[in-house]
Chains A and B, each alone.
Chain A
Amino acid sequence: MSQTAEMITEELIRSLAPNPAAINNAKKISNTGGFVSLFQTENKDLIFGECKGSGKSGYQTSADFSGEAPVFRCSCPSRQFPCKHSLAIMFEWISGKKFETADIPEDVAKKREKITKRQEKAKEEAASGPKKPSKTSLSAAKKKLEKQLEGLELAETFVTDILNRGVSSINGSSSASYKNLAKQLGDYYLPELQAIMTEIITVAEELSEHPDDKELNRLIALCVKLSASVKKSKEYINKKLENGDVQLEDTILYEEMGGIWKLAQLKEIGLFKENARMVQLSFQVIDDTMHKANIETGYWIDLDSGEISKTENIRPYKSAKYIKSEDSAFGVYQIPTLYRYPGGMNRRIRWETMEQRGLEAKDYSDILSKAEASIGEAVKKAKNELKNTLSEKVCAMLLPFDSIEFAVSDGHGVLKYQGETIGLKRNENYPETCSILPLEPKEVLEHGALLGELFYDSRERKIYVCPISIVKEDAIVVLC
């Protein structure tokens, strides 16, 4: 469906910008008269112009709205997409600057033509149905599994050696040889296991300089996780190789070994839902030091099933600048095809297209009705999830409450519902929400549902909830 530049709004620009700095830079360009010339096509489906740059000649920038999604082109060398000049030309448009009418530049016309051809080809392929895997791809998949098996042996040697010597004994010389081993694993398509190994070495090195019981236990837990992953992955691969079935299936092991799912693959193995209605309950940027990335995590609730899922936008530190950052989402997302990753309670979800509408009173009551029946039942479900070595150490659930109160002794929060209680405690993902909770107006802390991450505190031998957001009859109060 073709659109025009009339659709440009500040919200649209913000949603397209890769990061807030790009918006500020674009505004600066626009405010300081960065554009030397501005043009629009007669039907306003393309705006283009020349922007001053640091070089001798200016940059040719355009925003093309002729396709389903806007296309931005710029002759600047930036790797950010869209670049600040593309965003700036849109700011020029909304600020009401004068755009002279002109014909489509030749290079843009050629690029448009290419896009049309590519789309037609994709349509034809889609119409002919899913492709059967070729012999070559089957044999490649088999080879990959065999290679992974070799890598798993290497990882096993690593973890066995560490546990035999003792995790506290990792020192300068041994850590160098372990690092070498971890580096070698890069050749065996096992990036996730490699990340765990690198983390083990990093934590061990830190521990040798600054001993800390909590970190020591984390290090042991990492070794146990690595050992379990190796064991289960070996079983999984051996079984697949024995059966001759090398295709993907619904298991978290694929990701545990570092595999990356494509949406088409998820659809092939039936991990999708049609016409889903989703509402975001929270959005947070989590610093994942092990993977050296910021993970923009959103918790979503399915208005029909009540399932709590999550979106994850992974932005590695090194390339964060070039990956578009996500932001909080408001309203109901009506998603034609919702793709679900293999997993347990809070599966990762993704989608390609969606339509958005505002939240209505019924939506809030629908969300509230999907809260767990009791704290006890929620804890039982959480325990089932948390006890799995390979699963995440937290699980997000919607807990109903009559009130949230605060302990007289130390001020920690306590969630109360129908005679049951559970303590609120901060975790690494949401370090500030517990201190924000007491600042909320009184009415927010009475009768509602709390989205929180349940986790096990091994020191206190208790299950706690880390609060994330509160759902009321007319609002979602986000604490992060």
Chain B
Amino acid sequence: MDINVFYELRERLYATAAAGCGLIAEDFRLKRAVEAFKPMSEVNKVFGRFYQMCEALFTTENTAAQLADCIALADALAVTQGSFQDVSECEVREYELCLKPQTISRQCLEEVKNSLVSGDYNKSAFLQEDMEKALDPRLFPFFIQNLYKGTVVLESMAAVLLPQLGDSVIPLLKEQVDLITVGPKNRTAYYVRLVSKFYGEKANDWYLSLIEGEKNPPSIRAAAIRALACSQENASKVLELYHTQKGVAKNAAALTLAELDPPEAEEIWIKCTKKYKSSYDEFIMHSKNDICAEFAKNEFQNALKGCREICEGKVNLTHKDRIDHNDNLERAIKLIRRKPQLENCFFEFAQNYKYVKKVANGPYNNWQEEMNKVLLENLLVDDQRYAEMIKKVYEAYPEFYFPARFFLELKEKGEDAFKEFHKEMYHNRKRMLSLLDCTRYDNIRDGYYLSWDFLGCLYGENQMERNEIKIFEQLPEIVLTFVTDTGYFVPGQGENEIKMEKAERKVHVEWAVQVLRSWCQDLKPGTEEYKKCVDAAIKFAFQVNQHCSIGKEIQDIIIPFYTEGTSKEYRGLIRNHIAQSEIRKEGFLWKINMLDKLPMSYEDKKEELIEIDGMIDGLKDVDSTAKKRIRSQVQELLKTTYA
């Protein structure tokens, strides 16, 4: 029995439905198919009936209904004829991952998925206990497919999960590499970089195969060429690529060579420095080679010399010159990256800082911190020479290079660094607060990590290193005491009483509030660590409110975290804020609006407003016009919202 005649007839019926059965009498192909099926009609009753129905198509008046019936029966027959045995050659399974199915509901799965990609890094985000959920096979493909989005949560998870899962995850990561479409955010190239970061040399053959495919997207080939930096043995291959490739592939080869620094590449660096083009800056920046270092040193010294000459009156300075000097200096600082042999540049910079400050002092450039960033960024590479360099430059210029030195101590000794540099911390309060502002509590890895913000996006290359540096597991008492220190605004309190100008004091308080708020947000409510941090933050916020209110202490700490306060306890906060702050410079209405956000009863808010109204006349340093304006606003509120 040739069942194919049945399938051919079925196909013809579908074709007739597509073309229309108005002219079915002229459809010879269908007729032939029906004829060919005739022998089958004797095989069984159903086939017989099917044949009769198809034959009737050419005689019936209602062809459309008849055709629909024929197709319906053909479909039913096709189902009954369907086979099911699968004789494929099989193997037991593909991956050996330590994933574990979890008993979690679909909604919960969706929530976890959302928190993975939302990038939210606060209370509602992914927590360590969610890690188990992520090991559910239902979530794992989602996790892998979305890794390229680079949210903080995904990267923290990747840092924990990928090393744990071992080499068996490599095929899954490789599967994400689409050789046809690069995808959003250069998705595909990201996975090449990810494999190279976690599995380095193990995937060397794969990188080579991606490079070999000349038709592969350029960004994938470039990422694969960069991945060859995983082994010195690739040097000759990279050199060959440098000489044979063009465009992004050639650039990638040059960068890889800069990292590998094989002796054979010296002629490239000679060419780059002698026939200099601005596009070579990136290779020079990446290279540790002496030729590049010499070039970078000269450029750096020239930039400094330029500043000196201007200050000494040898050159007149126009606005454009100032911009040029800023650009030169910025470029020179970038060029001395990753060159342990250039420690003299750091000494010279500190010596010449007085000139730099005068000449190249654009609003966005804090050159002192930029130099510190270069030192700090070098620490990401595990090279003891950079550590030695930091120690030396700090010894000579302790104030200048304090951030780099302190960070090195943190990296080497953890929280003991705070004890070691206890005195210096208070002396460098603002810088310390800015460093602490970049630490985030990582709920996945349970610890405080230095975030990407600290190094800035200056060089744009270290995306995969972000959040890699653990500062401490639990907030040390010494750190909490430092952040919540009130010595600089409450006389006779705090560890080190420092006299400070009003404006500077405000900046310090703002930093401290910001640091405390971000820790409180990151920590999981209910934990000891959360309680410790929130209690200290609230105590600090009330002190700030009493002595030098900036309003942020109410908005950022008291309103969101002082959840157990009663309506009465919130009384006086806004009044203090008005009394402590400089009313003329800041919007008064904003302060009154904060009253609305406080969890107080209507009556308490009204009474509070009446009291504010009563204190307006007594406000010092507020002129009569401002007082008038304040009064009219308060009374307007008392007449409308709080009538």
Please list the residues of chain A having a beta carbon within 8 angstroms of any beta carbon in chain B: 14, 20, 24, 27, 31-37, 56, 58, 95, 97-98, 156, 159-169, 216-217, 220-221, 223-224, 227-228, 231, 283-285, 325, 327-328, 330, 375-376, 379, 383, 386-389, 403, 405-409, 411-412, 414, 416, 420-423, 432, 435-436, 438-442, 444-445, 456-458, 461-464, 475, 477-480
Q: Are B68 and A163 in contact (CB under 8 A)?
A: yes
Q: Are A224 and B22 in contact (CB under 8 A)?
A: no
Collect the chain B residues with CB atoms within 8 Å of residue A159's CB: 64, 68
Q: Are A14 and B107 in contact (CB under 8 A)?
A: yes
Closest-by-CB residue of A relative to B561 is A31
Near A by CB (< 8 A), chain B positions 548-570 give 559-560, 563-564, 566-567
Distance in Å: Cβ of B163 to nearest Cβ of chain A? 18
Q: A164-B20, A227-B65, A411-B94 are in contact. Are A36 and B601 (CB under 8 A)?
A: yes
The 3 residue pairs across chains A and B that have the minimum distance between CB atoms: A166-B20, A33-B599, A227-B68
B103 on the A face (CB < 8 A): yes
Q: Are A216 and B65 in contact (CB under 8 A)?
A: no
Collect the chain B residues with CB atoms within 8 Å of residue A165's CB: 20, 22
CA distance A441 to B101 in the complex (A): 8
Closest-by-CB residue of B relative to A329 is B105
Near A by CB (< 8 A), chain B positions 490-547 give none
Q: Are B75 and A407 in contact (CB under 8 A)?
A: no
Partner of A414, one of B67, B86, B111, B566: B86
Q: Are A420 and B85 in contact (CB under 8 A)?
A: yes
**17 additional contacts, CB 8 Å, given A442-B93, A444-B101, A478-B138?**
A20-B107, A20-B111, A27-B124, A36-B602, A166-B17, A166-B20, A228-B68, A284-B106, A330-B103, A405-B90, A406-B91, A411-B94, A416-B90, A421-B85, A435-B141, A438-B94, A462-B83
Q: Are B138 and A423 in contact (CB under 8 A)?
A: no
Q: A36-B601, A406-B91 are in contact. Are A439 and B99 (CB under 8 A)?
A: yes
CA distance A405 to B600 in the complex (A): 64
Q: A285-B106, A441-B99, A441-B100 are in contact. Are A223 and B17 (CB under 8 A)?
A: yes
Collect the chain B residues with CB atoms within 8 Å of residue A328's CB: 104-107
Q: A159-B68, A440-B99, A478-B138 are in contact. Are A164 and B89 (CB under 8 A)?
A: no
- Interface size on B, as a range, is 35 or more
Closest-by-CB residue of B relative to A27 is B124
Distance in Å: Cβ of B383 to nearest Cβ of chain A? 39
Q: Are A407 and B106 in contact (CB under 8 A)?
A: no
Q: Are A283 and B106 in contact (CB under 8 A)?
A: yes
Near A by CB (< 8 A), chain B positions 1-55 give 7, 14, 17-22
Q: A164-B63, A165-B20, A227-B65 are in contact. Are A406 and B14 (CB under 8 A)?
A: no
Q: Which of B67, B71, B79, B97 is the most central at the interface, judged by chain A CB atoms within 10 Å of its CB?
A: B79
CA distance A94 to B253 in the complex (A): 60
Collect the chain A residues with CB atoms within 8 Å of residue B68's CB: 159, 163, 223-224, 227-228
Partner of B75, one of A156, A167, A221, A414: A221
Q: Are B19 and A168 in contact (CB under 8 A)?
A: yes
Q: Are B89 and A407 in contact (CB under 8 A)?
A: yes
Distance in Å: Cβ of B592 to nearest Cβ of chain A? 15
Q: Are A20 and B110 in contact (CB under 8 A)?
A: yes
Please list the residues of chain B having a beta carbon within 8 angstroms of any beta carbon in chain A: 7, 14, 17-22, 62-65, 67-69, 71-72, 75-95, 97, 99-101, 103-108, 110-111, 123-124, 137-138, 140-141, 559-560, 563-564, 566-567, 598-602, 641
User: Tally of A-B residue pairs with Cβ under 8 A?
Assistant: 211
* Interchain residue pairs with CB less than 8 A apart (14): A31-B563, A37-B601, A220-B18, A223-B68, A227-B65, A227-B69, A383-B82, A407-B88, A407-B89, A423-B84, A438-B93, A438-B94, A441-B99, A445-B93
Q: Are B88 and A408 in contact (CB under 8 A)?
A: yes
Q: Are B65 and A231 in contact (CB under 8 A)?
A: yes
Q: Are A163 and B21 in contact (CB under 8 A)?
A: yes
CA distance A406 to B138 in the complex (A): 18
Partner of A325, one of B7, B94, B107: B107
Q: A33-B599, A168-B19, A216-B18 are in contact. Are A405 and B91 (CB under 8 A)?
A: yes
Distance in Å: Cβ of A24 to nearest Cβ of chain B? 7
Collect the chain B residues with CB atoms within 8 Å of residue A379's CB: 84
Collect the chain B residues with CB atoms within 8 Å of residue A375's CB: 84
Collect the chain A residues with CB atoms within 8 Å of residue B104's CB: 328
Distance in Å: Cβ of B574 to nearest Cβ of chain A? 15
CA distance A156 to B62 in the complex (A): 11
Q: A32-B559, A163-B67, A387-B75 are in contact. Are A421 and B20 (CB under 8 A)?
A: no
Partner of A442, one of B67, B92, B560, B601: B92
Q: Are B20 and A163 in contact (CB under 8 A)?
A: yes
Q: Are A463 and B83 in contact (CB under 8 A)?
A: yes
Main secondary structure of the interface of A (DSSP, over half): mixed
Closest-by-CB residue of B relative to A476 is B103
Partner of A403, one of B19, B71, B92: B92
Q: Are A456 and B82 in contact (CB under 8 A)?
A: yes
Q: A227-B68, A461-B83 are in contact. Are A163 and B93 (CB under 8 A)?
A: no
Collect the chain B residues with CB atoms within 8 Å of residue A156's CB: 65
Distance in Å: Cβ of B259 to nearest Cβ of chain A? 35
Q: A168-B18, A414-B88 are in contact. Are A461 and B81 (CB under 8 A)?
A: yes
Partner of A463, one of B67, B82, B105: B82
Q: A328-B106, A456-B78, A477-B101 are in contact. Are A421 and B138 (CB under 8 A)?
A: no
CA distance A231 to B73 in the complex (A): 14
Distance in Å: Cβ of B253 to nearest Cβ of chain A? 35
Collect the chain A residues with CB atoms within 8 Å of residue B71's CB: 220-221, 224
Q: Are B90 and A36 in contact (CB under 8 A)?
A: no
Collect the chain A residues with CB atoms within 8 Å of residue B641's CB: 56
CA distance A330 to B168 in the complex (A): 32
Distance in Å: Cβ of B106 to nearest Cβ of chain A? 5
Partner of B124, one of A24, A383, A462, A479: A24
CA distance A374 to B181 in the complex (A): 44
Q: A168-B18, A325-B107, A414-B88 are in contact. Are A224 and B65 (CB under 8 A)?
A: no
Q: A20-B111, A383-B79, A479-B138 are in contact. Are A167 and B18 (CB under 8 A)?
A: yes
Collect the chain B residues with CB atoms within 8 Å of residue A461's CB: 7, 78, 81-83
CA distance A424 to B374 in the complex (A): 56
CA distance A162 to B138 in the complex (A): 43
Q: Are A409 and B88 in contact (CB under 8 A)?
A: yes
Collect the chain A residues with CB atoms within 8 Å of residue B124's CB: 24, 27
Distance in Å: Cβ of A317 to nearest Cβ of chain B? 17
CA distance A479 to B80 in the complex (A): 29
CA distance A37 to B567 in the complex (A): 9
CA distance A97 to B563 in the complex (A): 9
Collect the chain A residues with CB atoms within 8 Å of residue B559's CB: 32-33
Partner of B599, one of A36, A161, A409, A411: A36
Collect the chain B residues with CB atoms within 8 Å of residue A220's CB: 14, 17-18, 71
Distance in Å: Cβ of A251 to nearest Cβ of chain B? 18
Collect the chain B residues with CB atoms within 8 Å of residue A412's CB: 88
Q: A220-B17, A422-B84 are in contact. Are A388 and B76 (CB under 8 A)?
A: yes
Collect the chain A residues with CB atoms within 8 Å of residue B80's CB: 383, 387
Distance in Å: Cβ of B92 to nearest Cβ of chain A? 6
Q: Are B78 and A327 in contact (CB under 8 A)?
A: no
Q: Are B87 and A440 in contact (CB under 8 A)?
A: no
Q: A163-B67, A462-B84 are in contact. Are A439 and B95 (CB under 8 A)?
A: yes
CA distance A475 to B89 in the complex (A): 29
Closest-by-CB residue of A relative to B107 is A327
Distance in Å: Cβ of A173 to nearest Cβ of chain B? 16
Distance in Å: Cβ of A355 to nearest Cβ of chain B? 19
CA distance A387 to B602 in the complex (A): 69
Collect the chain B residues with CB atoms within 8 Å of residue A376's CB: 84
Distance in Å: Cβ of B12 to nearest Cβ of chain A? 12
Q: Are B141 and A439 in contact (CB under 8 A)?
A: yes
Q: Which of B20, B77, B563 is the most central at the interface, judged by chain A CB atoms within 10 Å of its CB?
A: B20
Q: Are B137 and A436 in contact (CB under 8 A)?
A: yes
Q: A165-B22, A216-B18, A223-B68 are in contact. Are A386 and B79 (CB under 8 A)?
A: yes
CA distance A279 to B107 in the complex (A): 18
